[in-house]
Amino acid sequence: MTPPPPDPSTHDTPAGRERSAAARVALAVCAALAFAGFFALGTWQVERRAWKLDLIARVEQRVHAPASEAPGRDRWPQVNAAADEYRHLRIAGTFLHDKETLVQASTRLGAGFWVLTPLQAADGSVVLVNRGFVPPEARDRATRAATDPQGDTTVTGLLRITEPKGGFLRRNEPAAERWFSRDVQAIAAARGLHNVAPYFVDVEAAPSPPGASPAWPAGGLTVIAFPNSHLAYAITWYGLALMVLGAAWYVWRDGRRHAAGRADGGSGENTAHADATSRPDARRD
C-alpha cells in the first residue's frame, strides 16, 4: 500500500513561516515590555527604600535632639512635614483651659480622647498643645482640673503637622463637638482663636515613679512608625522580571527545538517518499 503524500504543515509553508515569525516577534516585544516594567518598578522600590531610610534617620535625629524654640510667626508659612515634623520643641505661655478640645484617640492605654489645649505666648500667638490622653471616664475636665497647669508654663514636645478634615471615613463635626482628627484650623475656628500656629505639639511624658498610675492627661504617647516594606516589594518586582526572562527563554528554546525537529522529520519523510516512488517495482494498491 502506497503511503499517502505528506500533508505539509502550515509551518512549512511560506505563509505559515511568516505567521510563526510574527508571533515570535510579538512575544519577544511583550516579554521585553513586561521585563522593563517589572525592572523599573523594582528599581523604584529600591529608591523609595533609600528615601524612607533617610527619612527615618532624620526623624530619629530630630526626636532625640535637644529641645529648640518653636517656629515663630515669621516661620509659620514655611513649616512643613518634610522639614519640621517630629522636631523636638520647647514652648512657653499660658494654657487657655476653657478652650480645650477633646479628639477621639486610640492608644496603647485604650480608647479615649486627646486633650488639645491652646497655649498663648506673651506675643499673643497661640499653639495648640496635645497635653495627652484621657480615658472616657476622665473626659470631663472637672475630674482632672487639679492637674491643669496654671500661669506661665513651659512645655516640651514634638511638632506635629495639622490633620485636616477628619479621620478614616469620619469627618469632624465641630457643631456637634465630635472631633476625629487634630485639625488645627478647624479647632481654632470653633474656639474663636486667632494667630494660631499651623501645627500642634505633642507633649512629652511627665516623669512619674515606676508602677504609678498615669496622671491624666497622659503625655508621651506619640507613635513614630514608618512602614518600610520597600525591600520586599523590590524583590517581588525583580523576581517577576526574572520570571519573564525565564519564560521567554523557555519559549524561545522550545520553538527552536520544534523547528529543528520539523526540519529533520520533513527531510526524512521526503527522502523516503522519493525512494519509494522511484522504484520500478513499487507496489500500488
pLDDT, position 5: 55
How far is residue 205 from each of residues 91, 98, 233, 243, measured CA to CA in Å? 15, 23, 37, 52
The band of 134, judged by pLDDT with boundaries at 50, 70 and 90, is very high
SS3 86: coil
Chain centroid to Cα 108, Å, comes to: 23
Q: Which three cell numbers stand for residue 46?
A: 529600591
Q: How confident is the model at residue 271 (pLDDT cuts 50, 70, 90)?
A: very low
pLDDT bin (cut points 50, 70, 90) of residue 63 is confident
pLDDT in tens, 231-250: 888 899 889 888 888 888 88
The H-assigned helical ranges of 1-137 are 14-64, 81-84
Quickly state the pLDDT bin for 54 (edges 50, 70, 90): confident
Instruction: Give yes or no for residue 274 having a pLDDT over 50.
Output: no
For residue 57 the three cell numbers come to: 534617620
Q: Tell me the mean pLDDT in the region 6-20.
A: 56
Buried/exposed code over 149-164 (b: 16+ C-beta within 10 A; e: otherwise): eeeeeebbbbbbbbbe
Q: What is the mean pLDDT of residues 78-89?
A: 90
Which is higher by pLDDT, 40 or 258?
A: 40
Q: Show Cβ contacts of residue 250 under 8 Å, excluding neighbours closer than 6 positions.
A: none
285 pLDDT tier (thresholds 50, 70, 90): very low
User: Among 8-12, 48-52, 121-125, 200-204, whose mean pLDDT is lowest?
Assistant: 8-12
The string of pLDDT tens digits covering residues 168-209 is: 778 999 999 999 999 999 999 999 999 999 999 999 987 665
Give the whole-angstrom CA distance, residue 160 versus residue 114.
14
Higher pLDDT, 155 or 209: 155
Q: Is 148 exposed, middle or buried (0-12, 13-18, 19+ CB in 10 A)?
A: middle
For 150, the 3-state DSSP assignment is coil
- Over 60: is that where the pLDDT of 12 sits? no
pLDDT greater than 70 at residue 276: no
- Enter the C-alpha cell of residue 40: 523599573
> Residue-wise over 193-214: b if at least 16 C-beta within 10 A, else e?
beebbbbbbbbbeeeeeeeeeb
Q: How far is it, in rounded angstroms, from Cα 254 to Cα 23?
A: 14
pLDDT band at 259 (very low <50, low <70, confident <90, very high): low
Would you place residue 26 in the very low, low, confident or very high pLDDT band (cuts 50, 70, 90)?
Answer: confident
CA 83 from centre of chain: 19
**Mean pLDDT of the 5-31 span:** 64
Average model confidence (pLDDT) for the chain?
A: 82
